[in-house]
A and B are shown apart, each in its own frame.
Chain A
Amino acid sequence: MVQHRPRWWPKFSSTLRSTAVTARIGLVLGIAIAVLFVTGLLSHYQYEPWSWLPEPAKPVWGYRLTQGIHVATGIATIPLLLFKLWSVYPNQFRFPPIRSIKHAVERLTVAILVSVALVQVTTGFLNVLNWYPFPWYFPTVHRFLAYVLVGSILLHVGVKLPDIGYGLSARVVEADVLTEIPWRENPESHSIAGKLPPPPTPGISRRGLLAAAGAGVGVVILTSVGQTVTPLEPLGLLAPRQWTRGPQRVPVNRTAEQAKVIAAATSPMWTLEVVGPRPYRLTLADLEPTAVHEARLPVHCVEGWSVGANWRGLSLLEMVLRAGGTADSRIQLISIEQDWGFNHSFVEGPQLSAGLLATHLNRERMDVDHGYPLRLISPNRAGVLNTKWLGRIEVLS
């Protein structure tokens, strides 16, 4: 079939490309996506836990760790993925473009894999940057595209398993060159020609290529991870968040202005209504004397930034007990913010017992952007579920 290619058909002559190179990048990429899938599912559980297995409150840094890893890995996956696609680009130019129905199906599934992977990592990164140039609700599409992505990777690994086996077992410097001609049909491949001297790489070597790409991805991680590994913040030349520049040294995701709560939250007439078997009301004056519980807890966002902070406030459990609930109650916390999907949250189990209704952050009265006059902060709990600007607490059971 090789000889029937038209003269103008693209030819790839770089000896850098090889199944041995691709298989190694693919292995790293596969591990990265497996990590992303698991940490992503762990985050999804925060939002929709089973009632018989409430989210634990320990370790307090659990969500910080898993989401920090998720976003750092996701950002690193973007250059990794592009590198992987570069390494197999000649495969797009096999001749004839479609050999059989089986080949057409394989190409279609690879096209799905590539496009889903690119859209998944791109929109994930745009979510970290809070930019939404698409009409859909990000979490839904990110979640279900993840299933399509992991599914098409499993299928791809199944289809390519012999090539992966060859690629990983072959030595990087010696393995067949990957061109637009499949190795099975290439008279110059080891598999057909037998043992050959390693293909010459007059410029960078294959090992150098892998090292350069690894170093590039390493720089990306090192200069962006300071948004969650707080001591590395000064190195964070490419970090989206900068915790030192948030009010009271904690960044904010939903501002009081976006939530349209500034007037209501700063009003001296603010009250907290607690509903349960023994309902009661708290005013601003009631908060101060009871806000004596302190905790050092990180704020950690699904978008991958986090920072440890000192919190002071009222014990959520004591408030619930006073309203006639118990440590086994299910509680709904409702913000004075209107019209937003996350203006309320549910808490039960360990996160109820460990929860704090915070009034102070880093030893100052909490800024209105952090939820003044009162917000929830509970360990190992996604940032957005720590409802701010509380107006009402309901003991549901």
Chain B
Amino acid sequence: MKAWRIILAAAGIALGAFGVFRLLTELPTYSLLILGVWLLAALVIQDAILAPSVVGVGWLLRRYVPDRGRRFLQVTLIMSALITVIAVPMIFLRGTQPAVKALLLRNYGSNLILIIAIIAVISLILYAVRVARDRSAPANIS
């Protein structure tokens, strides 16, 4: 295991250093500076905005939503969040391209709402089934 760890780390450092070296030699200083801003901004957006928001939502759910319904709500929210991440840039960029490119022509906003609605309805049906089952077998509460 130790040999593997050393081989992986050494190969990784070599490959990464090659990439950094090529970036430093191929890009003008201004582009490198902006790339640095992008890299820092990515960390800040992830660690200071996205991740804490998800933790916050999780805390609210735990605090205010009963266990039985929570798992269905969680599935809906997890799926919706992951899909929304992809949809958001397309919602904003819709219609910015010449029509012949056949690019970004759809109504991504309504499509996203449709997808989330389908997920929510399925979750709701599964939740209703669960509630009905618990009623018919009250001894088996989980």
Contacts and interface: CB of A to CB of B under 8 A. Distances in A.
A246 B18 contact: no
A128 to B, nearest CB: 9
Contacts of B23: 141, 144-145, 148
Contact of B89 (A126, A147, A157, A367): A126
Contacts of A116: 39
A238 B83 contact: yes
Contact of B98 (A83, A202, A258): A258
Nearest to B22: A144
A203 B82 contact: no
Given A134-B38, A161-B4, A220-B83, A155 B103 contact: no
B93 A155 contact: no
A205 to B, nearest CB: 7
Q: Is the interface of B mostly helix, strand, loop or mixed?
A: helix
A2 interface: no
B43 A115 contact: yes
A134 B34 contact: yes
B1 interface: yes
Interface in B101-118: 101-106, 108, 111-112, 114-115
Contact of A245 (B38, B61, B105): B105
Interface residues of B, number: 75
Given A140-B26, A245-B102, A151 B19 contact: yes
Nearest to A203: B70
B134 to A, nearest CB: 15
A202 B70 contact: yes
A202 B39 contact: no
Given A144-B26, A152-B16, A154-B12, A212 B4 contact: no
Nearest to B37: A134
9 contacts: A78-B86, A89-B51, A112-B39, A153-B12, A155-B13, A157-B8, A158-B4, A238-B90, A252-B102
